[in-house]
Amino acid sequence: MKIIVGITGGIAAYKAPELVRLLKKAGHEVRCAATEHALEFVTRVTLETVSGAPLYSDLFASGRTEHISLKDWGEMLVVAPATANIIGKVASGIADDALSTLLLAFSGKPVVMAPAMNCEMWAHPAVQRNVETLKSWGIRMVGPAEGELACGVSGVGRMAEPQQIVDAIGEGGPLKLNGERWLVTAGPTYERIDSVRFIGNYSSGKMGFALAEALAGAGAEVELVTGPTSLNISTSQRVNVHRVESAREMYAAATEVFPRCHGAILSAAVADYRPAECADHKLKKNGSEGMTLELVQNPDILATLGGMKREGQTLVGFALETDNEEANAQRKLEKKNLDYIVLNSLRDKGAGFGVDTNKVYIIGRDGSRTESPLLSKQEVARLIINTVTS
């Protein structure tokens, strides 16, 4: 893989040449980009010698748009060490030097950061908020680790060791889905009662959006079919967003794209029923005490895709259960012809609708079973993708 190592101005920059050496040993092509402050800690000669390529550190030196040609060349950007400053700049969209400009241009491609700073700086709410922002865009963080820091204190803030960074790059399987197309469904569906009312549910779409971003981060083209949600895909150019409202619209969009996909992950909370009739005006109270709404069943998108599935396509469904969780999930897996089912148990705290975390059990048709701890939805998304594509 073609990897750009970005180096910023922290004492851990002295480990960057070792990271470059290990990446090259693992068979990657490496080029370096450094900030002005990084070059106070590690020299241009060292970085150019270990990488075997010219260093990119001056936005204006060549008079060309090198941040764009380097962005086109690189398949992954690893920032090690990543200071609080570079994390804050990317989170705010600031591009005032060579590396920060390259980082913004790299939008939509995989970025890994290995933060390193004093423990109080790491714990600062601004830094934590910025890190969460970057993670929500699909940027992966490796570390920081706990230990003795250069400033003499002990705490969380040490850069992960170069070998750990190399291992983390391998585990994430960046770009392993290059050339593949995946379908993701997300969010709730709204089923209209009349021109101003609908039946809906509390799904936020966060899990589906995290899946779409993680698939794009692994190199796939993504068709994201989402019900009503305020979420946006912020960085990835590889995600085609299809916004729909009802289960039937979601069905039409999903069945249209599925034949062109290598796989599909259906995380949407689709309404099982819709009103038999939708009034084209606002229904008035009719004077009586109660009102009866007749409901009819919606098409089951997941079961339909299970019936359409060709050899080589992977189909993943979700199950949200409150009791007999595993047995119910297993039954759905078989009935809908799935390869994997991701089980959310509403009994687990921090899992389910609206929250930023999730805890899942991924059950495979082959009898495999992967259980996650409570993780952010971004981390759960990566775990699901690693499991169903391995």
CB 302 to ligand CTP: min, Å = 4
Measured in whole angstroms, the distance separating CA 370 from the mean position of its chain's CA atoms is: 19
CA distances from 7 to 32, 48, 139, 147, 207 (A): 8, 13, 16, 21, 32
Member of 158, 332, 359, 377 binding ligand CTP (CB under 6 A): 332
CB 225 to ligand CTP: min, Å = 10
Residue 318 makes contact with ligand CTP by CB under 6 A: yes
| Choices 24-32, 196-204, 236-244, 295-303; region in contact with ligand CTP by CB under 6 A | 295-303
CB 185 to ligand CTP: min, Å = 6
Q: Residue 386 carries which side chain, given as an amino acid letter?
A: N
Member of 300, 326, 339, 348 binding ligand CTP (CB under 6 A): 300
Residue 319 makes contact with ligand CTP by CB under 6 A: yes
| Choices 154-162, 166-174, 281-289, 298-306; region in contact with ligand CTP by CB under 6 A | 298-306
Alpha-carbon distance of 309 to 173, in angstroms, equals 25
Tokens 């989402």 -> residue: 226
Minimum CB distance to ligand CTP smaller for 35 or for 226: 226
Residue 270 makes contact with ligand CTP by CB under 6 A: yes
Residue 360 makes contact with ligand CTP by CB under 6 A: no
Catalytic residue among 32, 151, 261, 278: 151
For the window 145-184, what string marks contact with ligand CTP as x by the rule CB under 6 A? ----------------------------------------
Of 69-108, binders to ligand CTP (CB under 6 A) are none
98-105 vs 84-92: helix axis angle to the nearest 10? 50
The pair of three-digit structure tokens given for residue 176, joined into one six-digit string: 């392993």
| Choices 100-108, 198-206, 262-270, 362-370; region in contact with ligand CTP by CB under 6 A | 262-270
The pair of three-digit structure tokens given for residue 234, joined into one six-digit string: 């912020």
CA distances from 48 to 20, 51, 112, 388 (A): 10, 5, 21, 39
Closest residue to ligand CTP in the complex (CB): 301
The pair of three-digit structure tokens given for residue 204, joined into one six-digit string: 């936020």
CB 254 to ligand CTP: min, Å = 8
Q: What is the DSSP string of 18-83?
A: HHHHHHHHTT-EEEEEE-TTGGGTS-HHHHHHHHTS--B--TTTSSS-HHHHHHHH-SEEEEEEE-
Q: Do β-strands 181-186 and 198-199 pair in parallel, antiparallel, or remain unpaired?
A: unpaired
The pair of three-digit structure tokens given for residue 369, joined into one six-digit string: 């079973």
Minimum CB distance to ligand CTP smaller for 20 or for 341: 341
Closest CA to 80 of 30, 120, 45: 30
Member of 278, 320, 355, 375 binding ligand CTP (CB under 6 A): 320
The answer to whether residue 278 is catalytic is no
Residue 4 makes contact with ligand CTP by CB under 6 A: no
Alpha-carbon distance of 99 to 108, in angstroms, equals 16
Minimum CB distance to ligand CTP smaller for 172 or for 205: 205
Closest CA to 70 of 2, 12, 8: 2
Q: What residues are annotated to the active site?
A: 151
Instruction: Give residues in contact with ligand CTP (CB under 6 A).
Output: 185, 247, 266, 268, 270, 272, 298, 300-302, 317-320, 332
